[in-house]
């Protein structure tokens, strides 16, 4: 081999090495760009969730028996003792979320007509409804108080509290923890 052949071989090796180096750098830059794009999407989703959480209502179903309403207290105690749900339970709806609850409705127990839908319209953050005798929803072996509402993004939610009877000592209604779930269909009547 002559000197020119050696120069060409060395030049070829340098050219191949340079091409491999640039290909590696391009691959590394592509992976970095992909990771950066994924981080941007994740950040956008987190910001969307924060914005959404800043306007989300949450309807709580709270028991509310006026101390002066002895007749109602007696009726509910006797109903608990006999496991009679036909009189409903005295409750209020309270928006404990930070956004307005729209199209709020639940069910009341009417003395003659039974379980009826009841529309409360809109509850601002911190707002409460008037006291009503709420009807219990029966599902298999579960009883619950339920309320439905929408947020400002038209997402529908169901708030519920499971109800049971405590027969130890004085019979009384026990209300379980608040559960709130998004729903697709809204119950209008049973």
124 C-beta neighbours (distance < 10 Å), count: 11
Give the DSSP per-residue string, 65-118: --TT-HHHHHHHHHHHHHT--TT-EEEEEEE-SSS-EEEEEEEEEETTTEEEEE
Both tokens of 14, joined, read 């340098």
Q: Tens digit of pLDDT for each residue in 15-31?
A: 888 888 888 888 877 87
Q: Is the full-model pTM beyond 0.75?
A: no
Q: Tens digit of pLDDT for each residue in 162-175?
A: 998 887 767 788 89
The mean pLDDT value of the chain amounts to: 85
Question: What's the Cα-to-Cα distance from 138 to each of 86, 97, 106, 165, rounded to whole Å?
Answer: 11, 27, 14, 14
DSSP state of 130: P
Q: Tens digit of pLDDT for each residue in 58-72?
A: 999 998 877 667 888
CA distance 7 to 5: 5
Strand residue runs (E) in the chain: 59-63, 89-95, 101-110, 114-123, 132-134, 137-139, 142-150, 156-166, 172-183
């Amino acid at each position: 081999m002559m000197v020119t052949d050696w120069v060409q071989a060395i030049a070829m090796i340098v050219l191949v090495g340079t091409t491999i180096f640039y290909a590696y750098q391009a691959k590394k830059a592509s992976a970095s760009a992909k990771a950066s794009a994924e981080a941007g999407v994740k950040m956008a989703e987190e910001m969307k969730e924060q914005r959404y959480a800043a306007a989300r209502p949450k309807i709580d179903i709270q028991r509310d028996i006026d101390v002066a309403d002895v007749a109602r207290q007696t009726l509910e105690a006797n109903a608990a003792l006999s496991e009679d749900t036909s009189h409903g339970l005295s409750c209020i709806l309270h928006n404990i979320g930070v956004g307005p609850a729209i199209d709020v409705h639940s069910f009341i127990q009417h003395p003659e007509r039974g379980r009826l839908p009841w529309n409360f319209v809109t509850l601002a953050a911190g707002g409460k409804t008037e006291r009503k005798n709420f009807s219990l929803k029966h599902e298999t072996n579960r009883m619950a108080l339920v309320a439905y509402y929408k947020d400002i993004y038209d997402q529908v939610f169901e708030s519920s509290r499971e109800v049971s009877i405590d027969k130890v000592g004085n019979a009384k209604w026990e209300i379980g923890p608040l559960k709130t779930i998004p729903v697709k269909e809204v119950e209008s009547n049973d």
